[in-house]
Structure 1
C-alpha cells in the first residue's frame, strides 16, 4: 500500500505524507472496528449478568431442594435403624446394604451440583464474548506503520504459479474477455493481443484505490459520528432536565408531608421532649394544649388539605407520564423503522381513517411452565407480579414482558384464590381456601414476608379481597355467606363489621369509583347493593336487585354503571342507575364468546387508561372495549381454552396480559399491539 523508499532517501516529508494520507485512514478504520467490538462486548456482558443472576437463583432453589432431600433421607435412615428387626442386627452385612441404598444418591447429588455450577460460567454468551474480543486487531495497522519507518523492508509478493506452464505469474489482464486473467511469460507470448499490466503495477493501483476509498469511508463516518454525538448530547440534556424535574417534585412532596402550622409544629416538638426537661412556661403550654384537645383535629385538617394537593399532583404526574409513554412508543416505532416516514400522505390519511382493533399478541419466548395458577396481581408500577400457584404465592419480577421468579411464599395451606396489590404502600393481600387472609410486606432486601394474618372467615375466600381508595379498609367475600370489613388501627388490621345479608355462598364483590357503594352476588338470584352510611359509620344494604340467574362475576365501571355475569349464559349484563328512582336497571345485554359456561371464579379487571374490561366466562377470556361517552361495550378479542382453567391479569397500563391455562400448563405473556 505504501511507497517504498531507500533508507537514504527517507525524509520527514515522505513519512508525514504516508502517515496523513495512507496510514491514518487505516488506523481510524481499525479503531472503529475495535470500538464497535467493545460496545458489543458490553452488551454481551450485560446479558451474561442477567443470565448469571437467573441461573444463580435456580441453583439456589436446587440447593434448597437437595437440602430437603438429604434431610428426608437422613430421617429415613434414622427410622430404618430404629425399626430394624432383631435378626438384622445379627447380620451387619444386610444392614450395610440397606444403608448403602439410602446413601447412594449422595454422589449423584454431588455430581449434579458440580455440573450445575459449571453451567453458571459456561454459556453461549461467554463464547460470543471471546469471539468479539478476537475482532479487536491492529496487526495490519502496525505492519503498515513499520513499512513507513522501515522502508528498506520491502513488501513481498505472493508466490502465484500458472497452472498451465508452472511458471510464476507476473501479469494480469484487466480489460479482456478471456477466462484466465492471470498470465506468466509464456501466457503473454501466446496471447499477444491481451491488455496486460504487471502484478507490481496492479498492486500500486490497488493501493491507490484503497486509500481513496478509505478516505471517503472515514469522511462519511466522521459525519455520521458527529450527528450521532448530537443525538447523544440531546439525550444527555434530556436526562439532566428530568433529573432536575425529579428533584423539584421530591422537594414539593417533602414540603407537602411536613407540618406548616407553627402551633402544631411547636406541639409536635414538645411531644418529642423529655418530661423532666420542660420549663415552667412549657408546663403551662402543656396544660393549655391538653385542655384544648383539638390537636388531632388540626392535624387531620392540615393533612386533608395536603392530601388533596398531593392527589392533584399525582393526577398531573400520571397524565404527564402517560403522555410521555405515548410519545415514547411513537418515537420507538420511527426510530426502529425509519422507512415508515417514507409512506405517502395518501396512505397516512387512509390509515388514520381506519379503526385500529385491539390485539394482544402472544410472546412465546416468555412462556414459563407452571402448575395450576388461579390468581394474579400486578403492583402499581407493573414491575412485580404475584401469582397464586396452588397453595404457593410466587413472586416474579416483570420487565418488558419477561418474568423472573424471585421468591416463593408458602404460608398458606390451600389454593390461593385472591390477590390484591396495594397502590399506596408496598404491600399486597392474599385470600385462600384455608379461610385466611394474609397481609404481605416487603423488607429492605426486597423479600416479602407475612406481616399479619386475618382470621374470621369459616369457609373458602374466593369472592375477592379488595380495598377502598384510601386503602384503609379491606373488604372480603367468602363461601361462609358473609362479607367482612377490615379496618386498621395501630398498624394492625381488625374486623370492624360483618355483613350477613346473603343466604348463599358469595361469588364476587366490587366497590364503586367513589368507594361509597359495594355490589355483591352469590349463588342466589340477587345482587346486593350496599352503601356506607356516614352517620353511624356502617355499611347497610340499600337495594336488592333480583336476577333470573345466579351470578359469579360483577364489576363497577362507574359510580352509576356496573357489569354482571349470570351463570351459564353467553351474555354480559350492563346495569345503569336510573336518574329518577335511583335504582339500577339493565341497559345492555352484551353477547360474549364462550363455549363452556361451567361455574368458575375470575374477578373482572378494569383498565381505566385504555377503557378495557378483562372478563372471563367459562373457558373464554374476553377483552371488552368500553365507549365512555355512550356507555357501549364491545368484545374486541377473545382467548379460549379447552376448559375453564384459564386465569390472568393485565398490567395497570394495559400493555401486557399475563395468563395461565391448562392447555399449555404455562404462564403466558401477551403484548398489546395496534
Structure 2
C-alpha cells in the first residue's frame, strides 16, 4: 500500500552541502562506476574503470589516500565488511573478487583474489557474521564463499590471514544475476536475474548446503530485490513503475501480497535501493532522482491475511545532471554523490527543516 502525500510530513528534511572535491574524470567511464561508504562514515571508495580510489572523510574534508590497481576490467560492485571488520571487497568484469584490508596508508596489498566465475561479477553481498560472501555473475551462477579456518580461535584472532574458498555453486539459472539479498537470520538468499524469475535459496542445516527452495514467476524481469525482514521482501522490476511485496504463507513459500505504484522510471542505474532499517526508510533511485519512502506496518490486519506494510512517500531529491552516482550512509546522515559533467565529489549532511 502506498500513501502519497503531496505535502510531505511535519518533519521535513534536506541534505545540505558540507564538503566537495574536484576530480578529473574520463568521458563515459563514470556511468560504470561504484561508490561505497564504511559504517563509521570515514572511508569512501569510488571505482574508476578497473581502479579503486580510496578517500578519507573527517566530516568536514575529503582526501584521497590510496589508488588500488589490481583489477583488469571495470569494477561492478564494492562492499565493506560489516561491524568492526576493517576490510572491503570488490567484484569486476574480469571475473575476480578481491578482498582488501582497510589501511590508511599508500602501500596496500590485497588479502586474497577469488576466482571461480567464468564471466564478470555483477553483484555481491556478505552475511552479518562476515563469514559468507555470495556473488552473482554474468555466467548465470551464484557462488557461496566461506572462510577455511582450522578452528574458531584462529578465526577470531587472526582473520586477516585466513583464506576464502568457494563452498558451493548454484547454476540452475538461465540468465545473468542482477541482484542478491540475504535475510537477517542468514539462512535465506533471494535473487533476481535478467529473466522473469525470482529465486529463493535456503540453507539446509541437515545437509549443510544451500538449496533452491522456490522459483517465482514474474511479469517483468527484476532490477533489484531486497529483504526488509526475515520473511518479507520487496521486488523492483526494470520498468520502475511498481514495487511488489512478498511474504511467506502457511507452508513458508513466498507469495505476492501487494503491488505498489511508485513511478520511479526505468532503472538504467546500477545503484540498488537502500533500506535504512533504523529509520524505516526505503530509498529508490529514479531517473535523476532519489525517492524516500517511509515503511510502516499496516495495523488493519485480518485473520485470513498476514500483515502488510504501507509505503509513504516522504521526500524526493531531483538532480539535473546526467550520469550521477550517489550513496547514503547506513545511518542516513550523509549523501555522497559524484557528477560526471561537473567532475566533483560532493558530500551532503542530513538536516531537519
Shorter-chain TM band: 0.7 to 0.9
Higher relative contact order (CA 8 A, sep 6+): 2
Q: Is the Cα–Cα contact under 8 Å of residues 240 and 267 in structure 2 kept in the other structure?
A: no
Q: Is the Cα–Cα contact under 8 Å of residues 98 and 114 in structure 2 kept in the other structure?
A: yes
CA deviations 1:348-371 (Å, max 9, x no partner) are: xxxxxx72134323x175243353
Give the aligned partner of residue 337 of structure 2.
659
From 577, 582, 586, the equivalent of 2:252 is: 582
* Alpha-carbon shift at residue 412 of structure 1 (Å): 1.2
Task: Give runs of aligned pairs for residues 441-460 of structure 1, distance below 5 A.
Answer: 441-443=101-103, 445=105, 448-460=108-120
Give the aligned partner of residue 90 of structure 2.
430
CA deviations 1:263-322 (Å, max 9, x no partner) are: xxxxxxxxxxxxxxxxxxxxxxxxxxxxxxxxxxxxxxxxxxxxxxxxxxxxxxxxxxxx
Task: Give runs of aligned pairs for residues 247-266 of structure 1, distance below 5 A.
Answer: none
Moved over 6 A (4+): none
Give the aligned partner of residue 399 of structure 1.
58
Find the aligned partners of 2:338 and 2:105 in 1 and give their Cα distance: 29
CA deviations 1:384-439 (Å, max 9, x no partner) are: 11111222111111122532211111111222111111124211010111111000
Give the aligned partner of residue 323 of structure 2.
645
Find the aligned partners of 1:370 and 1:482 in 2 and give their Cα distance: 36
In structure 2, do the counterparts of structure 1 residues 533 and 618 end up closer, same or farther at CA, with 3 Å as the change threshold? Answer: farther
Task: Indicate yes or no: 2:300 matched with 1:591.
Answer: no
From 207, 231, 243, the equivalent of 1:560 is: 231
Give the aligned partner of residue 49 of structure 1.
none
Give the aligned partner of residue 287 of structure 1.
none
Task: Say which SS state the counterpart of residue 175 (structure 2) adopts.
Answer: coil
Find the aligned partners of 1:577 and 1:664 in 2 and give their Cα distance: 46
Larger radius of gyration: 1
Q: How many aligned residue pairs are there? A: 317
Task: Give runs of aligned pairs for residues 498-647 of structure 1, distance below 5 A.
Answer: 498-578=169-249, 580-595=250-265, 597=266, 599-628=268-297, 631-641=309-319, 645-647=323-325
In structure 2, do the counterparts of structure 1 residues 499 and 398 end up closer, same or farther at CA, with 3 Å as the change threshold? Answer: same
Find the aligned partners of 1:546 and 1:583 in 2 and give their Cα distance: 13
Give the aligned partner of residue 11 of structure 2.
356
* Alpha-carbon shift at residue 585 of structure 1 (Å): 2.6
- TM superposition score normalised by structure 1: 0.45
Find the aligned partners of 1:643 and 1:550 in 2 and give their Cα distance: 27
Q: Is the Cα–Cα contact under 8 Å of residues 598 and 644 in structure 1 kept in the other structure?
A: no
Unaligned runs of 5+ in 2: 1-8, 150-161, 300-308
Between structures 1 and 2, the one with greater strand share? 2
* Alpha-carbon shift at residue 497 of structure 1 (Å): 0.3
From 442, 460, 472, the equivalent of 2:131 is: 472
In structure 2, do the counterparts of structure 1 residues 588 and 359 end up closer, same or farther at CA, with 3 Å as the change threshold? Answer: farther
Task: Say which SS state the counterpart of residue 337 (structure 2) adopts.
Answer: strand
Q: Is the Cα–Cα contact under 8 Å of residues 19 and 62 in structure 2 kept in the other structure?
A: no
From 470, 477, 482, the equivalent of 2:141 is: 482
Task: Say which SS state the counterpart of residue 419 (structure 1) adopts.
Answer: strand
CA deviations 1:143-196 (Å, max 9, x no partner) are: xxxxxxxxxxxxxxxxxxxxxxxxxxxxxxxxxxxxxxxxxxxxxxxxxxxxxx
